[in-house]
């Protein structure tokens, strides 16, 4: 049985998406050096920062350990590297995840035989919808220090958390975070970002492109779940177990998708049920568990 029947109609979902949704943000920045440059200039407080290249959804492979998928990877005119990660849930921006990102990027930066001093300066930037550290600050800079002499270690590794809950419209960063929370391009402050959002939401070409991109993502979730079920059933050597496993994983994929929509907010339980394939009652129960 094919998996296409489990892929929801995403046209309604696209209209509800914001730049705080990593899939939408990645699509908007995928072919836009200018948008990535605008974001980095504001976060870094460097109006003259020049972005040379942008890679969206860059996969960093690890032959003996866990791979990493980077939302946005950019380099500037001075060779510095920036990894921008969008996280709606605070648990997705954990401190050890930031550490792992730094390590994985570093291992892929040096070529064979290069000296360690050739490692470029690296910034891992988490833009989170909520205040991860709950101190009310718009930015949190993480740096290594030598404790005994209270000096920076100076290894040119930097981690920055951007508090998306700080939307002070008197500041450039506050306006940027406000724009990240907008569903409607007309409500946004930065024309460059508004233009990209408008393209994917209000033009036929952009909506088709986003729908195709989103469909592939959801299909990948379903396919991976079904493949895992197949592998489990094959290992057990039971045909009926294979079919039961596939059905179980299909249901799990529906739940995963519904939870993503619940966390994004702005949609009624009936709408989520229609898109995910769950019942309205199931969606309401998931929402209650998520709010608990």
pLDDT tens, residue by residue, 91-137: 768 888 888 899 999 988 888 889 999 999 999 999 999 999 999 99
pLDDT at 291 over 60: yes
Average pLDDT over residues 270-290: 83
pLDDT in tens, 23-38: 889 989 988 999 999 9
Gap between the Cα atoms of 271 and 273, Å rounded: 5
Residue 242 phi, psi (nearest 5): -65, -45
Give the confidence band of 226 by pLDDT, cuts at 50, 70, 90: low
Position 62 scores a pLDDT of 74
pLDDT at 213 over 50: yes
Give the confidence band of 210 by pLDDT, cuts at 50, 70, 90: confident
Position 2 scores a pLDDT of 42
Q: Number of helices and strands (H, E) in the chain? A: 10, 8
Pair 42, 173: CB distance under 8 Å: yes
Position 246 scores a pLDDT of 63
DSSP letters spanning 152-204:
E---SEEEEEEETT---TTSHHHHHHHHHT-SSGGG-S-HHHHHHHHHHHHSH
pLDDT at 87 over 80: yes
Gap between the Cα atoms of 276 and 292, Å rounded: 22
How far is C-alpha 211 from the chain's CA centre? 17
Residue 249's nearest CA partner among 274, 273, 278, 223 is: 223
Identify the DSSP state of 150. Answer: T
Position 16 scores a pLDDT of 86
Q: Which long-range contacts (CB under 8 A, 24 or more apart) does 224-229 make?
A: 225/249, 225/250, 225/252, 225/253, 226/3, 226/250
Give the confidence band of 5 by pLDDT, cuts at 50, 70, 90: very low
Residue 105's nearest CA partner among 91, 117, 123 is: 123
Gap between the Cα atoms of 221 and 210, Å rounded: 17
Residue 250's nearest CA partner among 214, 212, 276 is: 276
- Comparing 230 with 67, the larger pLDDT belongs to 67
pLDDT at 4 over 70: no
- Averaged pLDDT score across all residues of the chain: 84
Longest dimension (CA), the chain: 66
Give the confidence band of 146 by pLDDT, cuts at 50, 70, 90: very high
Give the confidence band of 238 by pLDDT, cuts at 50, 70, 90: low
Position 3 scores a pLDDT of 42
Burial label, 230 (beta-carbon count in 10 A; 0-12, 13-18, 19+): middle
């Amino acid at each position: 049985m094919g998996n296409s029947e489990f892929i929801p109609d995403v046209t309604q979902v696209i209209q509800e998406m914001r730049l705080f949704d990593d899939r939408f943000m990645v699509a908007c920045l995928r072919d836009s050096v200018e948008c990535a440059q605008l974001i980095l200039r504001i976060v870094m407080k460097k109006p003259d920062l020049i972005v040379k290249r942008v890679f969206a959804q860059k996969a960093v492979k690890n032959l003996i350990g866990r791979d990493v998928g980077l939302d946005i990877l950019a380099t500037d005119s001075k060779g510095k590297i920036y990894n921008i990660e969008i996280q709606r849930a605070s648990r997705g921006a954990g401190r050890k995840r930031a550490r792992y990102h730094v390590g994985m990027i570093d291992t892929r930066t040096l070529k064979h035989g290069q000296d360690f001093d050739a490692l470029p300066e690296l910034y891992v930037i988490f833009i989170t919808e909520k205040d991860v550290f709950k101190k009310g600050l718009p930015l949190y800079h993480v740096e290594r220090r030598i404790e005994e002499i209270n000096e920076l270690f100076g290894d040119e590794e930097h981690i920055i958390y951007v508090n998306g809950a700080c939307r002070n419209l008197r500041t450039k960063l506050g306006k940027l975070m406000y724009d990240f929370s907008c569903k409607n391009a007309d409500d946004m402050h930065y024309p460059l970002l508004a233009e990209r959002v408008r393209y994917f939401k209000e033009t036929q070409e952009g909506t088709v492109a986003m729908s195709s991109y989103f469909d592939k993502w959801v299909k990948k979730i379903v396919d991976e779940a079904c493949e895992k079920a197949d592998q489990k059933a094959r290992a057990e050597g039971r045909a009926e177990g294979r079919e039961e496993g596939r059905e179980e994983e299909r249901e799990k994929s529906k739940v995963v998708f519904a939870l993503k929509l619940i966390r994004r907010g702005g949609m009624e339980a009936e709408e989520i049920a229609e898109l995910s394939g769950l019942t309205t009652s199931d969606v309401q129960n998931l929402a209650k568990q998520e709010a608990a």
